[in-house]
């Protein structure tokens, strides 16, 4: 009889020493992600400046860069998007915890790196939507495009000259997609 591998908990993940890598926990299984690279981080920073700046300027809620969200327990699921927004009325009473947030964001962004497999990206998007995220933006730096996901069946692709808007999740926000991809 083969020995079963012990599943990791969110608390164990939180206590891991910083080794320069990013990790997520998927149904108790530790997933290691290599550093994303300069282009990926540049796009994530531009999103933080543009979208995050709009959110802060209008007092709409809180923005987060690569935070950890605990989406499920037993076995635990902890995901870390590149950017997340939680509307003010949904923020936890008593403030944001030092550890993981135990609620899905209203809007989250995944910047797809060259090392991400299509199946892993799709799994993350479906998981975020299933756990209650209202909108997911998947940015593809190589093609300077964004896939907007509102549900498993409500998706659309925008190119560099299209306008990305926040809809009812981020009312009043809009910008040209290409402006979110720095040179």
Q: What residue ranges do the domains of the chain occupy?
A: 38-180
Instruction: Please give the pLDDT value at position 1.
Output: 44
Model's pTM, two decimal places? 0.89
The residues, ordered by sequence, that sit 6+ positions from 61 with a Cβ below 8 Å of its Cβ are 55, 85, 86, 87, 88, 89, 90, 91, 106
Convert the pLDDT of each residue in 25-77 to its tens digit.
888 888 888 777 889 899 999 999 999 999 999 999 999 987 788 988 989 88
Instruction: Please give the pLDDT value at position 66.
Output: 75
Q: Please report the DSSP string for 71-85 in residue order.
A: EETTTTEEE--SEEE
Residues 69 and 65: their CA atoms lie apart, in Å, by 12
Mean of the per-residue pLDDT values for the chain? 90
pLDDT at position 81 over 70: yes
Angle subtended at Cα 159 by Cα 180 and Cα 137, rounded to the nearest 5 degrees:
60
Instruction: Please give the pLDDT value at position 183.
Output: 74
CATH 3.90.1570.10 fits 38-180, yes or no: yes
Residue length of the chain: 183
């Amino acid at each position: 009889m083969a020995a079963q591998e012990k599943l990791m908990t969110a608390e164990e993940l939180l206590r891991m020493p910083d080794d320069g890598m990013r990790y997520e926990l998927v149904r108790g299984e530790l997933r290691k992600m290599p550093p994303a690279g300069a282009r990926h981080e540049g796009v994530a920073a531009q999103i933080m400046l543009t979208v995050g700046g709009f959110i802060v300027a209008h007092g709409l809620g809180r923005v987060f860069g690569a935070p950890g969200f605990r989406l499920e327990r037993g076995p635990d699921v902890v995901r870390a998007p590149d950017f997340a927004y939680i509307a003010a009325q949904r923020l936890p009473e008593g403030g944001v915890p030092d550890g993981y947030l135990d609620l899905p964001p209203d809007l989250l962004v995944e910047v797809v790196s060259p090392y991400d497999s299509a199946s892993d990206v799709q799994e993350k998007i479906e998981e975020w939507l299933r756990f209650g995220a209202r909108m997911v933006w998947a940015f593809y730096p190589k093609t300077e495009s964004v896939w907007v996901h509102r549900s498993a069946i409500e998706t659309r692709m925008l190119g560099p000259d299209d306008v990305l808007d926040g809809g009812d999740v981020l009312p009043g926000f809009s910008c040209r997609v290409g402006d979110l991809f720095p040179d």
